[in-house]
């Protein structure tokens, strides 16, 4: 297996370019890989994630589909049964619901129900999350719906280098993977301050992306910042928001970027919380039954006697994602700073 | 919410909501005299490359080969040799014998569930004989005739039904949800019509790889109402996928008659019209018609002329499953009054008319197949029956959720094993 070190030259890429590069590499390496979805072919995707891939790899490898998510995922299950390795795109995670039965009852359980007669090596890519004035149908974060399905892996990258390596690992995985792309940070990391200019990825060290093949293994968290005072668990966009607020606060926090929600890197979480004695969980999704609830439960089950304060959750509110008031919904600097203050006081 | 305003004064009749109602309920005497059964020669056979819009009337007609005297005729006659016809008869009779035996096994408490296909044997058997052995089938739950036609071992079907030690699905699936990749038989889901887009995906993959294999897929008229059905037809027409869609219109979806899937308004074959794909409506109790229609559709698909939707017009002669009691919602004589007869009786009559079969041979074959089923059943039951003893090691419950077991499942597995030990004592060991 190739690692980052020996994967050759790097190039500065944003998230979109890195994701594009992952698919390009895999289309080149494995003729069983197919990429499909609404507007992904000639046009190259509404976020440009598949730009140039059809031209390079041909129409039978990269193609447009009808606006029918049940069909997109259902067809991908059949392609997987044939022996292909489909990489369907759902244009927005908010649109995954019409295809959910094919994901929950079919893709996720095919290996189990057929005792390995048939498998579903599918990677569903889909942009998620808000902060782009997408309103309630272009902003949702459905990751906890995905992690609640048994038989599906859920991956969320937070930077270009991880995005490419994780996507390659997801495509090579022999089980279905939902690959949630935080669209707010496609073009640059997000500080949490919507009124400040966007910083491009090129200023971030994780934009140096190897041009060739490499994997970032699924199920491994990354330590974004080492610290002793509190463990912050985050993923996707919120990794960057957390980092900004932590730096502003001067608190010596340890930030874990979970990267894969299922299977979860419980060892990394446990080690960090046992070290710091405090745990703050941040996600953009609605609060009730969100993935933060799972994390909080796991932390108290495993680290209770090391905790010096109650586990805190900073999340979106339990409302649909509002359009004009999206920054009041978003778990931004004030909400995070308030929670940090509280957890450090206890 | 605002209060509903009073109706405006008007001379229009008020709106009324139509709730479909089958014509016959328990106690009624069914009369199917109004079902139009065109003459055998009346339905033309277009070329396999015909444009769908040039053959729309076939969606409203009825492809037939056997007349009610047992003679095969007309443009759809596949002219099968007597040996092939006898093979077809054997597969259908074996399917029926298997069903009878397994239904009884469920009643004897040897398993939880069973579903018969009585009266519908022609649809899966004749269809399977008309495609290549290498073609991939995406079945629904009443297509046991496919496995039997492809000589899948009866004992393996039974092992699955009993969830016993020989069940290669490790007791995970409800009885009859078989999976047989070596026999080109996709894992039966249990969810309805989900296999429809999957078959299209398989067919698209086959086409994209320049393969020669096609896919066939099955659902009932009831589940043609599912979104997956329409997703599948959309994808199939868009990509001209080499797939055959089979809709077994057996009139009943548990207790809901075909009217609840739109059957009062048009035929199910006519669903093809809106998608611009070929549609055929076939006498599903005429095995030669099913064979001929499937052969036509298979040739069409294999020559890049696209998908076909075949409605098999038939009747579900028995209950939906062992959990169903049809006497509670439909007239008892419907099956016997069905104007298209019984598929086994009709093929027998045809073979007899050809001088290739007689009552004596028929009875001998019936007994032979009954014995075969009985013998297989005995062998299968040696490997256990449901609810009597443990047939699968407990930890198999956690295997195959993923290719490799993640930590949380390992933990849960250990917990479950500890529970069992607590329950069964310290000397207990997992099987």
B154-168 pLDDT tens trace: 999 999 999 999 999
* pLDDT band at B99; cut points 50, 70, 90: very high
Flag whether pLDDT at A254 surpasses 60.
yes
Assigned CATH for A10-210: 3.40.50.970
pLDDT at site B426: 82
Cα distance between the two ends of chain B? 61
| CA–CA distance, B287 with B400 (Å, rounded to integer) | 40
| CA–CA distance, A172 with A39 (Å, rounded to integer) | 24
Flag whether pLDDT at B8 surpasses 80.
no
A121-180 pLDDT tens trace: 999 999 999 999 999 999 999 999 999 999 999 999 999 999 999 999 999 999 999 999
Flag whether pLDDT at B223 surpasses 90.
yes
Report the chain B residue with the minimal C-alpha distance to residue A37: B235
Topology match between the domains A10-210 and A222-345: yes
Flag whether pLDDT at B74 surpasses 70.
yes
Beta strand A253-257 with A222-225: parallel, antiparallel or unpaired?
Answer: antiparallel
Name the nearest CA neighbour of A23 among A50, A46, A43: A50
Could you please report the per-residue DSSP string of A262-298? ETT-HHHHHHHHHHHS-EEEE-SS-STT-HHHHHHHH
The average pLDDT across B33-58 equals 96
Element at B58 (helix H, strand E): none
Report the chain A residue with the minimal C-alpha distance to residue B168: A115
| CA–CA distance, B400 with B64 (Å, rounded to integer) | 46
pLDDT at site B389: 86
Annotated catalytic residue A148? no
Strand partners, B280: B310
The average pLDDT across B216-230 equals 98
**CA-angle at A12, arms to A9 and A13, nearest 5°:** 115
B312-342 pLDDT tens trace: 999 999 999 999 999 999 999 999 999 999 9
Element at A233 (helix H, strand E): strand A230-234
Tally of CA atoms within 13 A in the half-sphere of B402 that contains its CB: 19
Measured N-to-C along each axis, helices B359-381 and B154-162 cross at an angle, to the nearest 10 degrees, of 50
A263-286 pLDDT tens trace: 999 999 999 999 999 999 999 999
Mark yes or no for CB contact B201/A65 under 8 Å.
no
Flag whether pLDDT at A70 surpasses 80.
yes
| CA–CA distance, A104 with A112 (Å, rounded to integer) | 12
The average pLDDT across A287-294 equals 98
Give every CB contact of residue B274 below 8 A, 6+ residues apart in sequence.
none
Share of chain A above pLDDT 90, in %: 97
The CATH architecture assigned to A222-345 reads 3-Layer(aba) Sandwich (3.40)
- Alpha-helical regions (H) of B165-315: 195-208, 227-239, 271-275, 287-302
Task: Please provide the average confidence, as pLDDT, over all residues in chain B.
Answer: 96
SS (H, E, C) chain B: CCCCCCCCCCCCCCCCCCCCCCCCCCCCCCCCCCCCCCCHHHCCCCCCCCCHHHCHHHHCCCECCECCCCCECCCCCCCCCHHHHHHHHHHHHHHHHHHHHHHHHHHCCCCCCCCCCCCCHHHHHHHHHCCCCCCEEECCCCCHHHHHHCCCCHHHHHHHHHCCCCCCCCCCCCCCCCCEHHHCECCCCCCCCCHHHHHHHHHHHHHHCCCCCCEEEEEECHHHHCHHHHHHHHHHHHHCCCEEEEEEECCEECCEEHHHHCCCCCCCCCHHHHHCCEEEEEECCCHHHHHHHHHHHHHHHHCCCCCEEEEEECCCCCCCCCCCCHHHCCCCCHHHHCCCCCHHHHHHHHHHHCCCCCHHHHHHHHHHHHHHHHHHHHHHHCCCCCCCCCCCCHHHHCCCCCCCCCHHHHHHHHHHHHHHHHHHCCCCCCC
Q: Which residues of chain A make contact with B194, given a CB cutoff of 8 A?
A: 74, 101-102, 105-106
> What is the complex's ipTM, to 2 decimals?
0.96
The average pLDDT across A84-109 equals 98
Name the nearest CA neighbour of A3 among A221, A180, A178, A168: A168
A82-95 pLDDT tens trace: 999 999 999 999 99
* CB distance A240 to A204 below 8 Å: no
The average pLDDT across A192-216 equals 96
Task: Give me the phi and psi of A60, to 5 degrees please.
Answer: -85, -10
pLDDT at site A1: 41
* pLDDT band at B57; cut points 50, 70, 90: very high
Minimal CA separation from B221 to chain A, in Å: 19
Report the chain B residue with the minimal C-alpha distance to residue A108: B401
Q: Map residue B257 onto helix, strand or coil.
A: strand
The average pLDDT across A231-237 equals 98
The average pLDDT across B225-231 equals 98
Q: Which residues of chain A make contact with B402, given a CB cutoff of 8 A?
A: 111, 151, 153, 175, 263
Instruction: List, edge to edge, every strand of the sheet that includes A33-37.
Output: A62-64, A33-37, A85-89, A123-128, A177-182, A153-155, A260-262
* pLDDT band at B397; cut points 50, 70, 90: very high
pLDDT at site A198: 87
DSSP A201: G
Could you please report the per-residue DSSP string of B299-319? HHHHTT---EEEEEE----S-
* Residue A11: C-alpha distances to residues A184, A199, B325, B431 (Å): 22, 18, 68, 55
Could you please report the per-residue DSSP string of A110-124? HHHHTTTSS----EE
Mark yes or no for CB contact B201/A68 under 8 Å.
no
**CA-angle at A181, arms to A175 and A184, nearest 5°:** 170
Share of chain B above pLDDT 70, in %: 98
Minimal CA separation from B165 to chain A, in Å: 14
Mark yes or no for CB contact A101/B179 under 8 Å.
no
Residues belonging to chain B with any Cβ–Cβ distance to chain A shorter than 8 Å = 136, 138, 168-170, 172-173, 177, 179-181, 186-187, 189, 191, 194, 196-206, 208-209, 215, 227-228, 231-232, 234-235, 238, 400-403, 406-408
DSSP A182: E
Name the nearest CA neighbour of A266 among A286, A240, A306, A294: A294
Q: Map residue B243 onto helix, strand or coil.
A: strand
Flag whether pLDDT at B302 surpasses 60.
yes
The average pLDDT across A32-61 equals 98
B138-155 pLDDT tens trace: 999 999 999 999 999 999
pLDDT at site A2: 44
Name the nearest CA neighbour of B203 among B184, B230, B222: B184
pLDDT at site B161: 98
pLDDT at site B431: 55
Residue whose token pair is 């005729």: B73
* CB distance B185 to B152 below 8 Å: yes
- The catalytic residue among A138, A204, A240, A283 is A138
Flag whether pLDDT at B272 surpasses 80.
yes
| CA–CA distance, B315 with B22 (Å, rounded to integer) | 14
Q: What does the block give as tokens for B13? A: 């009749």
Flag whether pLDDT at B97 surpasses 80.
yes
The domain ranges of chain A are 10-210, 222-345
* CB distance A214 to A238 below 8 Å: no
| CA–CA distance, B368 with B388 (Å, rounded to integer) | 30
**A183 exposed, middle or buried (CB, 10 Å; 0-12, 13-18, 19+)?**
buried
**B359 exposed, middle or buried (CB, 10 Å; 0-12, 13-18, 19+)?**
exposed
The average pLDDT across A207-235 equals 98
* pLDDT band at A5; cut points 50, 70, 90: low
Distance of CA A173 to the CA centre of its chain: 16
The closest CB to that of B202, out of A81, A105, A263, belongs to: A81
């Amino acid at each position: 297996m190739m690692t980052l070190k020996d994967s050759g030259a790097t190039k500065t890429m944003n998230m979109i370019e890195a994701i594009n590069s992952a698919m390009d590499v895999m289309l080149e390496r494995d003729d069983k890989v197919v990429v499909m979805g609404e507007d992904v072919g000639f046009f190259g995707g509404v976020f440009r994630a598949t730009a140039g891939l059809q031209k390079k790899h041909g129409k039978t490898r990269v193609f447009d589909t009808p606006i029918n998510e049940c069909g997109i995922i259902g067809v991908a299950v059949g392609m997987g049964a044939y022996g292909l390795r489909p990489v369907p795109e759902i244009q927005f995670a908010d649109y995954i619901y019409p295809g959910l039965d094919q994901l929950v009852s079919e893709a996720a359980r095919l290996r189990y129900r057929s005792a390995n007669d048939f498998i579903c090596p599918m990677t569903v890519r889909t942009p998620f999350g808000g902060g782009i004035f997408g309103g309630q149908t272009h902003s949702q974060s459905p990751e906890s719906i995905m992690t609640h399905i048994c038989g599906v892996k859920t991956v969320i990258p937070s930077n270009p280098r991880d995005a490419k390596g994780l996507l390659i690992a997801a495509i090579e995985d022999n089980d279905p993977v939902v690959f949630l792309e935080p669209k707010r940070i496609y073009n640059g990391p997000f500080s949490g301050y919507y009124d400040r200019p966007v910083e491009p990825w090129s200023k971030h060290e994780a934009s140096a992306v190897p041009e060739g093949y490499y994997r970032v293994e699924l199920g491994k968290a990354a330590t974004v910042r080492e610290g002793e005072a509190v463990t912050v668990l985050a993923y996707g966009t919120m990794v960057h928001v957390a980092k900004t607020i932590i730096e502003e606060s001067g608190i010596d926090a340890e930030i874990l970027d979970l990267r894969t929600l299922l299977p979860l890197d419980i060892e990394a979480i446990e080690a960090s919380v046992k070290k710091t004695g405090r745990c703050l969980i941040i996600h953009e999704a609605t609060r009730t039954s969100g993935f933060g609830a799972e994390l909080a439960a796991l932390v108290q089950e495993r680290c209770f006697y090391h905790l010096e304060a109650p586990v805190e959750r900073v999340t979106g509110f339990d409302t649909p994602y509002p359009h004009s008031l999206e920054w009041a919904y978003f778990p931004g600097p004030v909400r995070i700073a308030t929670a940090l203050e509280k957890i450090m006081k206890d | 919410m605002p209060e509903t305003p009073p109706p405006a004064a008007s001379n229009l009749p008020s709106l009324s909501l139509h709730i479909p109602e089958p014509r016959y309920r328990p106690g009624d005497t069914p009369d199917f005299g109004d079902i139009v059964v065109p003459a055998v020669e009346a339905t033309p056979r277009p070329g396999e490359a015909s444009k769908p819009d040039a053959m729309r009337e076939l969606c409203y007609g009825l492809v037939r080969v056997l007349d009610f005297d047992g003679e095969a005729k007309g443009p759809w006659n596949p002219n099968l040799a007597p040996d092939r016809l006898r093979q077809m008869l054997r597969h259908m009779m074996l399917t029926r014998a298997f069903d009878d035996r397994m239904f009884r096994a469920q009643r004897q408490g040897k398993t939880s569930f069973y579903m018969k296909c009585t009266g519908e044997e022609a649809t899966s058997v004749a269809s399977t004989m008309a495609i290549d052995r290498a073609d991939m089938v995406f079945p629904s739950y009443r297509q046991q005739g496919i496995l039997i036609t492809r000589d899948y071992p009866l004992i393996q079907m039974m092992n699955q039904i009993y969830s016993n030690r020989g069940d290669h699905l490790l007791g995970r699936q409800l009885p009859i949800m078989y999976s047989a990749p070596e026999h080109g038989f996709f894992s039966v889901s249990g969810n309805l019509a989900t296999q429809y887009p999957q078959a299209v995906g398989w067919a698209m993959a086959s086409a994209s790889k320049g393969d020669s294999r096609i896919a066939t897929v099955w659902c009932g008229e009831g589940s043609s109402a599912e979104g997956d059905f329409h997703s599948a037809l959309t994808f199939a027409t868009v990509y001209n996928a080499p797939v055959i869609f089979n809709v077994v219109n057996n009139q009943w979806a548990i207790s809901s008659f075909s009217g609840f899937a739109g059957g009062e308004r048009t035929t199910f074959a006519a669903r093809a019209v809106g998608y611009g794909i070929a549609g055929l409506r076939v006498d599903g109790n005429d095995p030669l018609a099913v064979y001929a229609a499937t052969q036509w559709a298979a040739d069409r698909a294999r020559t890049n002329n696209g998908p076909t939707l075949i409605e098999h017009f038939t009747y579900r002669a028995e209950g939906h499953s062992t959990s169903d009691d049809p006497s509670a919602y439909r007239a008892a004589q419907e099956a016997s009054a069905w104007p298209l007869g019984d598929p086994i009786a009709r093929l027998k009559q045809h073979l007899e008319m050809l001088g290739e079969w007689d009552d004596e041979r028929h009875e001998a074959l019936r007994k032979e197949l009954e014995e075969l089923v009985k013998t297989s059943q005995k062998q299968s039951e040696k490997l256990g029956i449901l609810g009597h003893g443990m047939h699968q090691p407990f930890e198999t419950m956690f295997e195959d959720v993923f290719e490799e077991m993640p930590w949380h499942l390992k933990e849960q597995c250990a917990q479950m094993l500890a529970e069992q030990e607590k329950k069964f004592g310290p000397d207990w060991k997992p099987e």
